Amino acid sequence: MNKISINNFSDVEIEILRKLNEYGKGYIVGGAIRDILLGLEPKDIDFTTNLPYETLKDLFKECNPKETGKSFGVLRIRVNNIDYEIAKFREDNYEEKDGMKIIPEEKKVSFVDDIKNDLARRDFTINAMAYNETEGIVDLYNGQKDIENKVINFVGNTEERIIEDPLRVLRAFRFMSRLNFSLSENTIEAIKKQKYLLKNIPEERITMEFSKLLLGENIKNTLTLMKDTGVLELIIPEFKATYDFEQYNPHHNLNLFNHIISVVSKVPADLELKYSALLHDIAKPIVQTFDEKGIAHYKTHEIVGADMARDILTRLKLPVKLIDTVTEIIKKHMILYRDVTDKKFNKLLSEMGYDNLWRLIEHCNADNGSKNNEVVSTENDLHERLKRAVEKQMQITVNDLAINGKDLIELGFTGTEIGQIKRDLLDKYLSEEIKNKKEEMLEYVKKNILRNRS
C-alpha span between 120 and 253 (Å, rounded): 48
- 216-242 pLDDT, tens per residue? 999 999 999 999 999 999 999 999 999
- Gap between the Cα atoms of 101 and 216, Å rounded: 33
Assess contact for 152 and 201: CB atoms under 8 A: no
Percent of the chain with pLDDT over 90: 67
pLDDT of residue 311: 98
Mean pLDDT of the chain: 90
∠297-299-304 over CA atoms, to 5°?
125
Secondary structure (DSSP) of 331-381: HHTTGGGS---HHHHHHHHHHHHHHHHHHHHHHHHHHHTTS-TTSPP-HHH
Return the higher-pLDDT residue of 335 and 310: 310
Rounded to two decimals, the pTM is: 0.84
Mean pLDDT across 425-437: 84
DSSP 41: P
Distance CA 170, CA 195 (A): 9
The answer, yes or no, to whether residue 374 has pLDDT greater than 50, is: no
Bridge partner residues of 74 (DSSP): 69, 87
Angle, to 10 degrees, between the axis of helix 271-279 and the axis of helix 301-315? 120
- Confidence at residue 97, expressed as pLDDT on a 0 to 100 scale: 61
- CA–CA separation, 395 and 389 (whole Å): 7
What CA–CA distance (Å, rounded) separates 45 from 80? 14
Helix axes 342-368, 379-392, angle to 10 degrees: 140
Residue closest to 413 by CA, chosen among 454, 384, 368: 454
Range name among 39-43, 99-103, 274-278, 448-452 with the lowest pLDDT average: 99-103
For residue range 7-42, list pLDDT tens digits in order: 999 999 999 999 999 999 999 999 999 999 999 999
* CB atoms inside a 10 Å sphere around CB 118: 25
Of 284, 362, 366, 360, which Cα lies nearest the Cα of 325? 360
Burial per residue of 236-268, b for 16 or more beta-carbon CB atoms within 10 angstroms, e otherwise: bebbbbbeebebebeebebebbbbbbbbbbbbe
Helices (runs of H) and strands (runs of E) counted in the chain: 22, 15
**pLDDT tens digits, one per residue of 75-100:** 999 999 999 999 999 887 666 666 55
- How far is the C-alpha of 181 from the C-alpha of 162, rounded, in Å? 19
Q: What gap in Å lies between CA 126 and CA 147, rounded to an integer?
A: 7
Q: Return d(Cα 14, Cα 6) in angstroms, integer.
A: 7
77: β partners: 84
Q: Could you tell me which of 97, 136, 100, 99 has the C-alpha nearest to residue 115?
A: 136
Q: Do the bridges between strand 82-88 and strand 129-132 make them parallel or antiparallel, or are there none, so unpaired?
A: unpaired
118 pLDDT band, cuts 50/70/90, is very high
In this prediction, residues 266-295 reach a mean pLDDT of: 95
